[in-house]
Amino acid sequence: MKKTYPNPVRCSCLLTFLFALLMPNIGMSQLVTNATFELDTIGDAPPAPFTTASDTGANSITVEDTSSIASSALGTGVKSVYIVNGSSTSGSPALYAPESADLNQALMLSADFYLPAASWTSSNNISLAVYGVSSSSGLEVQAYRVTFRGSSDDMNLQDSNGTSSPSLAINSWGTGVDEWYRITLSVGALDTSEDTLTLSIYDSSGTLISSAANRSMADITSITQLRLWDNSAGSTVGSFYVDNVSLSTIPEPQASSMLFLIGVGLLAGASFFKLRAAKR
């Protein structure tokens, strides 16, 4: 009896279809928020999902043309959000982004900052914070905050887990002004009993300047919002640019390995069918 083998073309198509079906759900990074502001209108406030606060009077938060300022290998494009704290009595202008992420996966938060020399002094502070639902009280709390802090000749950075005093200082990592910087927060899965993250800082060329692992977060069950604001004290005024605000899930190592093995298996299967068909 003549042996028959599966049609190699049909098998290859079927394997490709299964691979495409499985791939988005296995070990792939998924963007929750990815704001580059390149398609937004200059002079307008950042569109939804972003909201703003205390941006009236001398304060403002608008999308502006940044093609004339320093270039960046970080992909900052030609439009960014410009946050201006022009009044010591109108509160601190802030940019909010509501969030909802898969708590069973690790998360990566990233944002780029540009600090103009003309409006940055040793008294200026800029904060980036993650808010979430407290596992103990069920209320929204500040889970983690990292702050750019000005100094006389360089920049330094401090962080807080939302309840304790700033516990980290990274000093002398750059002149700070007229250059883009990127801050990334790598957060482990929030379903664990203790939430921690890794803080990393990159310069405009994409070079890692400094990092600190196992930074403490408040114990939360979900992320509710990201917040960026001018955190300068007293009568200090100033301005800064924000770009590439991104929150994404990070594939677990096991899932990434599974994706690789599935890919190898599909390719091997397709090759096997073609080889057997050629021998007939």
Q: What is the pLDDT of residues 192-213, one digit of tens each?
A: 566 788 888 888 889 888 888 8
What residues does 107 pair with on adjacent strands? 187, 249
Categorize the per-residue pLDDT at 70 as very low, low, confident or very high, splitting at 50, 70 and 90: confident
CA contacts within 13 A on the Cβ side of 100: 1
Domain ranges of the chain: 31-266
The span from the CA of 280 to the CA of 258, in Å, is 33
Average pLDDT over residues 182-189: 85
Whether cis (ω within 30° of 0) applies to the bond prior to 49 is: yes
**Taking the domain 31-266, which CATH number applies?**
2.60.120.200
The span from the CA of 280 to the CA of 263, in Å, is 27
Q: Which two tokens stand for residue 216?
A: 């403490």
